[in-house]
Every structure is written in C-alpha cells, then in structure tokens.
Amino acid sequence: MAVGVTTASVQDRKGARRLLSHLPGGCKKLRTFWANGGYSGRLLDWVAERFKFCPTVVLRPKKFVLLPRRWVVKRTFARLNHSRRLSKSYKRLTRTDETWIVIAMTRIMLNRLA
C-alpha cells in the first residue's frame, strides 16, 4: 500500500507525481487510474507514458448526478474520519500521519475479514 502525506503548500498534482514515482513493484497489476478534475493535464499524460495505467478523469457536473467510482473515494475518506487521530493533524512529521493512515486502513481491512 502506498501512502503519501504532504504539507498543505504542496499542490495535489505534485504530490501525486511524487507518490506515483515511488510506487513499489507490487503495483504492476494495476491497470486503471481514476482521478478527479484537479489531476487532469500533464500529470495524466505523464502517468500514461510512464506506467501501463489507463488514466480516467471523473469530472463533477453542475447538477447532482451519481458519478461512477467517485463513491469509492468518498467512502474511504469517511472510514478514515472515524479514526480519532486522523481528524486533526498536530504532528510535525508527515511520516506520523502516513503511519496512522496505514494503521487505520489495516483496521478497516481486518474488520472486513472478520
């Protein structure tokens, strides 16, 4: 599992590029890459030429429409917000936040197995 936490001053596209450039070798089977409109542009071109991913941008329409696959991200963030330590970040190191995210996701996966 690859987790990347950055400071608020880092733009999402730069943070995604940093995360994707350090992907472990276990992500070779990954074929589809969904992103919202904030990640469109040169980042998706870079992903398409460097990896075997199929980048797809899911744009938010003006009116309410149920968008495919967008609920997966929203559900994941909602589950992470149940973790009390992730509700606010007062730590100095981003590695601490990354560790708490891994712990929270491990708890979620263990609950699914039970």
- The pTM of the whole model exceeds 0.85: no
pLDDT at 19: 82
What average pLDDT values come out for the chain (114 residues) when binned by 10 residues? 79 84 70 77 81 76 78 79 73 80 87 86
Domains of the chain: which residue ranges? 1-61, 69-114
∠ CA 25-29-33 to the nearest 5 degrees? 100
d(CA 102, CA 2): 9
Predicted local confidence at residue 31, as pLDDT = 77
Confidence (pLDDT) at 24: 66
